[in-house]
Structure 1
Amino acid sequence: MKKYSRVPEQLIYKIWEEKQFTEVLKTSDGTEIEVIDPGSRNNDKAGPDFHNARIRIGNITFTGDVEIDTFHSDWRSHGHHLNQRYNKTILHITIADNQSSGYVTTQSGRHVPTLNLSKYLSQPLRQTILTEISKIGEDEIKMPCSEVADEAPIELKLKFIKELGLLRYRKKCDRFLARLKELIVLHEVMISEPKINHDFHKEIEERTFSSSDFENAEIWQQLLYEEIFEALGYSKNKDAMMKLSHAVDINFFRKMPKENFVAQAESALFFISGLVPEPNRLEDEETSEYIRNLYENWEQIKSGYDGVYFNKSHWHFFKLRPQNFPTVRIAAGARLLDRILNKNLFSRIIGAVSSIENNYKLISKLRDLLIVKGEGYWSKHFNFNKGVRTDIKYFIGLGRADETIVNIILPILTVYFEIFNKRKIAERILALYIYFSQKESNHLVDEVSEVLDITDKKLRSVYYQGMIELFRNYCIKQQCLECEIGKKVFAS
């Protein structure tokens, strides 16, 4: 059990040691269990929870270890099936029954019977434990090597994480290049994505693109717009924000007057997103006035839009901080659209990279170009008719600006300078990515860096991104023996 769960660990241990069971124990397949000796607690952080237990299962008495997990699936997700320390396990105990079979398998290939302990507890005990289990989040970080990661040399871990950080960066570059090619073809055939009825992917695969194909500034603006909107959606609304930016082509916004651009862009985005409430459901005057302005602006521009519309069910609000609500994110997006179309954002980014040699000054400049201060209605509200306790000072703050630089701006710049054969600048962009240190972390990176004992490196973008790549493509997929760290700590 150990660090993996937030269930009351000491209570579970006490129940096992004192044999606080309401009836005769049975394995998941119905074989009777007699606990002759529950064993002694393992106070080390690695290995099964109890050593030297004596347990009769059926007609056979076993001596060995006992492991207690919250869920049956934890045996694999925690890497016990790869860890030699668990080869002497004679009983696998679960607290919540989500099992798919009556046993687990050790690294040596031996089957270990499973006991679902909650069935044999008094009602008060069972309720206490199951209540705690219900609080465990779906996004709980589970690394199979949590108990043994410190056995891998720090140099090996850093080398592998850096390689993954570079791989993740290159994958972003490749994805952006592929999208640019799609945008070129879409622009040439003059169609918008919701109306696509032909397979242009084959055309892209068979076509050889030259640098001249990428000279149209509109495709770069569209790409920047799409990627920024997707990033603004965070994890819960990324898909919806991405689909919104694909549905509402950037050319639709070009027709809007500069002096009233943000108001009209907000109006379009909110109506198309399906988030504008009915006017008769409003309570405060400030919201009523804002909604009236949205309607007035939308009346002026809606005839120019013939794409798809969304509805409120496409958007997620649950368990989001107010400043991360899609309403506030869309307001931020409208202001960045203004910078893209009316303030030459992409050209200014290219200019900054080409002219500023000092990395610190360049990073400061890029941050300045992306940070968006709170203003107007959405600095005081997180949803229509829902005011904030404290004004939202930044729609896009330093942390989100850094995420945008690392995940969007730098990869796009690498693609741009590689396409136009400016290799030295492209190499400098990659070096900047390796050099870059973000101001903020996130829960996943915090947990992974702690397990790997590299917390001092977690804000370096190449390691930050590498840890995300590690967790998403190795840990949760249980590809431990494909991972250089896993190969080391789980080697037979």
Structure 2
Amino acid sequence: MREAILHFIWQGQKFPAKELRTTLGLPISVQDTGRPNTLSGPDFLNAHIRIDKQQWVGHVELHVKASDWYVHQHQRDAAYENVILHVVWEADTVVTRKDGSNIPTLGLNEYIREEEMTKFRHLFFNKKQHSLLCEGDIGKIAATILSPWIDKLFQRRIAQKVECIQEWLLESGQDWEQVFFMALLKSYGLNINAASFLSLGKALNYSIIRKNAHNAFLLESMFFGMTGLLGADKISDPYYLQLKLAYKYLQTKYKLRDESVFKPEFFSLRPYNFPTLRLSQIANLYHRNPALFMAVVKATSLKSLRTLLQTNASTYWDTHYVFGKPTACNPKSISRQFTDLIILNAVLPIREAYHQNKGSSDLNFLTFVAQEMSAERNKIVRLFHANGVKATNAYQTQSLLELYHQYCLKNKCLHCAAGRHLLYGK
């Protein structure tokens, strides 16, 4: 049994015709199941329920077992004090509030027969690794159902990134250049080194970047030094030793503190994504345009954004991927695909955050740019494609990523338009 099934049963009131009763035998009449809560706290908010002769307005909490209330420590959380009904599959214990009063409990296993569960099992119980709960069905849903949901998912993905940017703004004292520097670093780190690169962005004040932007070598020395990439003693490479010497000077001059910066990883990365190359590319990007934030905010097309973000690693990296190990000459510029990822993950969200702070929205431009980009290529997009949902641009693939991470992985089928359609038929 999974709670997702209980959510479906409660929200759709999939009960037999006979009267429901609490575990103490009191009759239950549900006028309003409440609003599903996607945040922390009770599962359904502001329900209207009549228990015996008393009308109640409050929240509903769902669990597989009643004892899960104590497992999850709800008795210590004030957010659950206004729970008026505890809906469970198995009422294995009595649940009380802080004041000792009983919380009315509905045990569903007394009302739902085994055959009534059959139509749910394909959806909830047949999930394979790296598959979708609605595998084999989602591709059959009409575009009139999926398209509006894709639009909402894109907007929610942008909204989550904007919320994160707003938090960084508060931490930085409303320094937009600093925040964009952080967002850019995090995006350059991709999944493996996002935390490391972000920790560098938080530890390094952008005013120092601005003061040294005339020299890409100095920026490299700071980035490599603060991330711990200049800590080896056995490397005799001249460029490495020059960087190390420059970092010691800058560390003293600006009182740089690198204790909070995580060292980036090389393991499992393709050479073109090695942190050495990515940090050098960022250094050269800011060397070319120290006022990058305002430039991307003022850009009016995808083409102009791509031009602004185009950058190469320093010439040393033409023949290296790591320090002290020469390779065949191959200039390390960022690809179109990588540039578009940076635009999606850093540029578009910060533009929207900036416009929101000005009392407007940049969503139309964001939508246009994402729709103009080619569809992303990753295992999640391929998974949906294999199940009949084919994305043709980055707007759609960003929506599918949001769907997978925020709904599919969390089994939130009842909060998904596709899931509700498959379950309710509407």
Normalising by the smaller structure, the TM-score range is 0.5 to 0.7
Q: Distance in 2 between matches of 1:172 and 1:430?
A: 13
Matched, 1:318 2:307: no
Q: What's 1:373 paired with? A: 312
Structure 1 residue 294 displacement after superposition = 0.6
Q: Distance in 2 between matches of 1:430 and 1:254?
A: 28
Matched, 1:273 2:247: no
Trace 1:419-434 onto structure 2 (pairs within 5 A).
Answer: 419-421=357-359, 423=360, 426-433=362-369
Structure 1 residue 387 displacement after superposition = 3.9
Q: What's 1:174 paired with? A: 163
Q: Distance in 1 between matches of 2:378 and 2:392?
A: 10
Q: What's 2:117 paired with? A: 108
- Structure 1 residues 349 and 482: alpha-carbon distance in aligned structure 2, compared to 1, 3 A threshold: closer
Q: Distance in 2 between matches of 1:165 and 1:388?
A: 42
Q: What's 2:78 paired with? A: none
Structure 1 residue 146 displacement after superposition = 1.6
Match of residue 154, structure 1, among 143, 148, 155: 143
- Structure 1 residues 427 and 472: alpha-carbon distance in aligned structure 2, compared to 1, 3 A threshold: closer
Structure 1 residue 404 displacement after superposition = 1.6
- Structure 1 residues 107 and 464: alpha-carbon distance in aligned structure 2, compared to 1, 3 A threshold: farther
Identity %: 23
Secondary structure in 1 aligned to 2:221? Answer: helix
Matched, 1:334 2:272: no
Q: What's 1:410 paired with? A: 348
Q: Which amino acid aligns with 2:385?
A: S
Structure 1 residue 174 displacement after superposition = 2.6
Question: In the TM superposition, what whole-angstrom CA distance separates every residue of 1:158-200 from its partner, at most 9, and x where no partner exists?
Answer: 321221111111222232223223322xxxxxxxxxxxxxxxx
Normalising by structure 1, what TM-score?
0.56
Q: What's 2:373 paired with? A: 437
Q: Which amino acid aligns with 1:468?
A: L
Question: In the TM superposition, what whole-angstrom CA distance separates every residue of 1:38-94 from its partner, at most 9, and x where no partner exists?
Answer: xxxxxxxxxxxxxxxxxxxxxxxxxxxxxxxxxxxxxxxxxxxxxxxxxxxxxxxxx
Residue 226 of structure 2 contacts residue 261 of structure 2 at CA under 8 Å; is this kept in 1? no
Q: Which amino acid aligns with 2:354?
A: Y
Q: What's 1:475 paired with? A: 408
Trace 1:11-160 onto structure 2 (pairs within 5 A).
Answer: 108=117, 141-160=130-149
Q: What's 2:295 paired with? A: 348
Structure 1 residue 298 displacement after superposition = 1.9
Question: In the TM superposition, what whole-angstrom CA distance separates every residue of 1:247-278 from its partner, at most 9, and x where no partner exists?
Answer: 111122233261xx210111111111111253
Matched, 1:454 2:389: yes
- Structure 1 residues 147 and 351: alpha-carbon distance in aligned structure 2, compared to 1, 3 A threshold: closer
Q: What's 1:298 paired with? A: 247
Trace 1:383-398 onto structure 2 (pairs within 5 A).
Answer: 383-389=322-328, 391-394=330-333, 396-398=334-336
- Structure 1 residues 435 and 280: alpha-carbon distance in aligned structure 2, compared to 1, 3 A threshold: closer
Residue 221 of structure 1 contacts residue 340 of structure 1 at CA under 8 Å; is this kept in 2? no
Q: Which amino acid aligns with 1:472?
A: H
- Structure 1 residues 325 and 152: alpha-carbon distance in aligned structure 2, compared to 1, 3 A threshold: same
Q: Which amino acid aligns with 1:442?
A: N
- Structure 1 residues 427 and 153: alpha-carbon distance in aligned structure 2, compared to 1, 3 A threshold: closer
Q: Distance in 1 between matches of 2:213 and 2:395?
A: 41
Residue 285 of structure 2 contacts residue 309 of structure 2 at CA under 8 Å; is this kept in 1? yes
Q: Distance in 2 between matches of 1:325 and 1:293?
A: 21
- Structure 1 residues 371 and 141: alpha-carbon distance in aligned structure 2, compared to 1, 3 A threshold: farther
Q: Distance in 1 between matches of 2:396 and 2:365?
A: 16
Structure 1 residue 402 displacement after superposition = 0.9
Q: Distance in 1 between matches of 2:413 and 2:136?
A: 14
- Structure 1 residues 434 and 331: alpha-carbon distance in aligned structure 2, compared to 1, 3 A threshold: closer
Q: Which amino acid aligns with 2:298?
A: G
Q: What's 2:98 paired with? A: none
Q: Which amino acid aligns with 2:278?
A: R
Question: In the TM superposition, what whole-angstrom CA distance separates every residue of 1:356-381 from its partner, at most 9, and x where no partner exists?
Answer: xxxxxx21111010011344112322
- Structure 1 residues 294 and 479: alpha-carbon distance in aligned structure 2, compared to 1, 3 A threshold: same
Residue 230 of structure 2 contacts residue 244 of structure 2 at CA under 8 Å; is this kept in 1? no
Q: Distance in 2 between matches of 1:165 and 1:254?
A: 34
Q: Distance in 2 between matches of 1:381 and 1:440?
A: 28
Secondary structure in 1 aligned to 2:350? Answer: helix
Q: What's 2:57 paired with? A: none
Matched, 1:250 2:250: no
Residue 446 of structure 1 contacts residue 458 of structure 1 at CA under 8 Å; is this kept in 2? no
- In structure 1, runs of 5+ residues without a counterpart are 1-104, 113-139, 185-213, 283-287, 354-361
Secondary structure in 1 aligned to 2:139? Answer: helix
- Structure 1 residues 262 and 432: alpha-carbon distance in aligned structure 2, compared to 1, 3 A threshold: same
Residue 273 of structure 1 contacts residue 310 of structure 1 at CA under 8 Å; is this kept in 2? no
Secondary structure in 1 aligned to 2:321? Answer: strand
Q: Which amino acid aligns with 1:443?
A: K
Residue 285 of structure 2 contacts residue 310 of structure 2 at CA under 8 Å; is this kept in 1? no
Q: Distance in 2 between matches of 1:301 and 1:313?
A: 19
How many residues align? The count is 305
Residue 375 of structure 2 contacts residue 397 of structure 2 at CA under 8 Å; is this kept in 1? no
Q: Distance in 1 between matches of 2:385 and 2:317?
A: 35
Normalising by structure 2, what TM-score?
0.64
Residue 320 of structure 2 contacts residue 327 of structure 2 at CA under 8 Å; is this kept in 1? yes
RMSD of the alignment, in Å? 2.9
Residue 225 of structure 1 contacts residue 245 of structure 1 at CA under 8 Å; is this kept in 2? yes
Q: Distance in 1 between matches of 2:376 and 2:140?
A: 28
